[in-house]
Amino acid sequence: MNHSKPLVGVGIAVVAALALTGCSGSGTGADDANSTDAAKLESLSIMAPFLSTNAPEEDNEIEAAVEDVIGVDLDMTWVPNASYGDKVNITLAGDDLPQVMVIQGKDPGFVRNAEAGAFWDLTDYLDDYENLKTTFPEVQRASSVNGKVYGVFRARDVMREAVIIRKDWLENVGLELPETTEDLYEIAKAFTEDDPDGNGTDDTYGLIIPKWPGTIGTNSPWDAIETWYGAGTRWTERDGELVPNFTTDEWFEAVQFERQLVEEGVVNPDYATFDSAKWNEPFLTGKGGIIIDVHSRVGQLISLVKQSDPDNFENYVDVTGNLTGPDGELYALPTSGYSGFLAIPKAQVRTEAELRGVLEVLNELNSAEAGPILNNGIEDVTYTLDGDLAVAVDDVPQALKDTVGAYAQLGTNVNGFQGYLPKQPSEYEQEMYDKRKEIETADLESAQFDPAAPYVSPTYVSKGAQLDTIVADARIQYIAGQIDLDGLEDAVELWRSSGGDDIIAEINELADADS
């Protein structure tokens, strides 16, 4: 009952000390020398996805090299990319959180947790760190939740969309690389009907389209065509109001074009079930001739062709950028400019001092010293330098290559790419690589950025995913001929009445408040 004041003071000190030490396998302690009061970490736990078959082994040489630079032990949890989103949601519901988590996007689960305070709001912190202060503020904003930055975004090329075409087929049917969607149609038709491989049988089609990603606005081939038609990317402005692209006339024109492609048999018939992991196969085996996807697939395809036909591999793959729509304008489909972000859960990092400690490590991770290790690997082991370009070392074991790929997931590059661009193995490949870079630069001028990217509407958080499925499924059903245009319009109407109109209102409110 009768606590004396000094005792209370001691109690608070003890609690504070416990809070500082108790929560950390990271071994924190105050660092007086630092003016920003950052706790000095000894280790940092990070959860990240990996894209190869096997996760990096523990204590691998890449990790050791990174640790050398950043001066902190990394405690990595690798999760397969395919199930990463699920794992994030499950981890957040559990109590064994890492100090840093790769979050792949602003999905409802993340937003809900962030708004409840599960992650540190880094908006006012990032500028204090040399390597975390971004030179792409608009991308950082796009990655925010209504202006609150909950993570250090992972920068990606803004322009990646490309049309990849069988070069030999194009020559056989006597056509040029497409410039418009109309050209695309003609080529696809010729690839289907004019026996482009010259084997005398009707066994080819034009476009190869996989089932992934099925939802709206995920840069699928369908999305690309819709953007080219002028429907915008995900959201667009009409009469001063922000609206989802699927409410525009241009979008409806585009899906009619898509349906025509399918009806005329120029798309692989199993587009609704075809696994995206096999996307390259029909292209390589001579079943289909056009892929609409990121242009990095060009590099993949060329190296695969090279393995099977090392003498003539230059003759198979060609690439061009975004296509002009029916109104003669070029509307290029950009990426969001980031691929998720590194977020810091409060459950593990409880105090501001600890937060500063974590940010310091992330700052080091994005330094000119650590960047090349994450992006290229170890010099003279996985690559050698030729001027400013990294030359891949030939006999690097696959496991080590995969490990480099995995650690690249930690690269944020928020102030430019921290690493060396790859030197291509042959002149032709270098030529194609440069061509891709030129396409990027050219298309950037016509990019249709998503004006609603930074805004997160509460209704969208609670039921946006189900709503999106309504339109996405209707789109495929319409393309497949299961429903007619009225049915598709009904689906958009259902989207509106089940909460879509609220989402539009909320997004516009947020946008107005912002401007």
Partner 1 sequence: MAMLDTAVTATETLTVEKQSRRRRGVRVHFTQFKWLYLLLVPGIVYFLLFRYWPMYGAIIAFKDYVPFLGIADSPWVGFAHFEDFFASPDFPRLLGNTIILALLSLLIAFPLTIIVALLLNEMRLTILKRTTQTLIYVPHFLSWTVVASLTYLLFALDIGPLLQLINGILGTDINFLADPAWFRPIIVLQDIWKNTGWGTIIFLAALAGVDQAQYEAAIIDGAGRFQRVWHITIPSIMPTIIVMLVLQMGQILNTGFEQIYLMTNSLNRSVADVFDTYVYFMGITQGSYSYSTAVGLFKAVVGVVLIFGANWVAKRFNQVGIF
CA 514/CA 68 separation, integer angstroms = 43
Query: CA torsion 24→28→29→35, rounded to 10°?
Result: -130
Residue keyed to tokens 């909950």: 150
Q: Cβ of residue 148: shortest distance to partner 1, in angstroms?
A: 15
Question: Can residue 52 be called a binding residue for partner 1 (CB under 8 A)?
Answer: no
Among 116, 240, 395, 397, binds partner 1 (CB under 8 A): 116
Nearest residue (CB) to partner 1, 55 versus 118? 118
Helices (H) and strands (E) in the chain, counts: 18, 14
Among 273, 285, 307, 515, binds partner 1 (CB under 8 A): 273
Question: Can residue 264 be called a binding residue for partner 1 (CB under 8 A)?
Answer: no
Among 19, 23, 69, 118, binds partner 1 (CB under 8 A): 118
Among 133, 141, 238, 346, binds partner 1 (CB under 8 A): 346
| Stretch touching partner 1 by CB under 8 A, among 39-47, 154-162, 309-317, 458-466 | 458-466
Question: Can residue 151 be called a binding residue for partner 1 (CB under 8 A)?
Answer: no
Residue among 231, 233, 223, 236 at smallest CA distance from 253: 231
On the question of a cis peptide bond just before residue 372, with omega within 30 degrees of 0, the verdict is: no
Nearest residue (CB) to partner 1, 113 versus 131? 113
**Beta-carbon neighbour count of residue 302 at 10 Å?**
21
Among 148, 211, 437, 496, binds partner 1 (CB under 8 A): 211
Nearest residue (CB) to partner 1, 80 versus 405? 80
Q: Cβ of residue 77: shortest distance to partner 1, in angstroms?
A: 17
Nearest residue (CB) to partner 1, 442 versus 480? 480
| Stretch touching partner 1 by CB under 8 A, among 152-160, 372-380, 384-392, 474-482 | 474-482
Question: Can residue 272 be called a binding residue for partner 1 (CB under 8 A)?
Answer: yes
| Stretch touching partner 1 by CB under 8 A, among 74-82, 132-140, 266-274, 325-333 | 266-274
Question: Can residue 472 be called a binding residue for partner 1 (CB under 8 A)?
Answer: yes
Q: Cβ of residue 320: shortest distance to partner 1, in angstroms?
A: 28
Residue 400 CB partners (closer than 8 Å, separation 6+): 60, 61, 62, 377, 381, 382
CA 382/CA 54 separation, integer angstroms = 18
Query: CA torsion 206→210→216→217, rounded to 10°?
Result: -80
Among 13, 466, 509, 514, binds partner 1 (CB under 8 A): 466
Q: Cβ of residue 111: shortest distance to partner 1, in angstroms?
A: 9
Question: Can residue 350 be called a binding residue for partner 1 (CB under 8 A)?
Answer: no
CA 279/CA 208 separation, integer angstroms = 7
Residue among 475, 309, 479, 365 at smallest CA distance from 129: 365
Residue keyed to tokens 């105050």: 30
Q: Cβ of residue 465: shortest distance to partner 1, in angstroms?
A: 5
Question: Can residue 498 be called a binding residue for partner 1 (CB under 8 A)?
Answer: yes
Cβ–Cβ under 8 Å, residues 451 and 240 = no
Name the phi and psi angles at 472, rounded to 5.
-60, -45
Q: How big is the chain by its Cα radius of gyration, in Å? A: 25
Provide the phi-psi class of 381: left if phi over 0, else alpha when psi is between -120 and 50, else beta: alpha
Q: Cβ of residue 80: shortest distance to partner 1, in angstroms?
A: 15
Retrieve residue 11's tokens. Answer: 């109690």
Count of residues interacting with partner 1 (CB under 8 A): 38
Beta pairing class for 421-423 and 383-386: unpaired
CA 461/CA 116 separation, integer angstroms = 13
Nearest residue (CB) to partner 1, 465 versus 485? 465
Among 171, 202, 270, 512, binds partner 1 (CB under 8 A): 270
CA 53/CA 507 separation, integer angstroms = 40
Nearest residue (CB) to partner 1, 69 versus 272? 272
Question: Can residue 188 be called a binding residue for partner 1 (CB under 8 A)?
Answer: no
Nearest residue (CB) to partner 1, 149 versus 472? 472
- Burial class (CB within 10 angstroms; exposed 0-12, middle 13-18, buried 19+) of 120: buried
Alpha helices in 31-107 (DSSP H): 61-70, 84-93
- Cα–Cα distances (Å) from 345 to 111, 179, 348, 412, 448, in that order, read 13, 47, 6, 18, 33
Question: Can residue 462 be called a binding residue for partner 1 (CB under 8 A)?
Answer: yes
Q: Cβ of residue 457: shortest distance to partner 1, in angstroms?
A: 15
Among 37, 86, 171, 386, binds partner 1 (CB under 8 A): 86
Residue ranges binding partner 1 (CB under 8 A): 85-86, 89-90, 92-94, 107-110, 112-113, 116-118, 211, 214, 268-270, 272-273, 346-347, 462-463, 465-466, 469, 472-473, 476-477, 480, 482, 494, 498
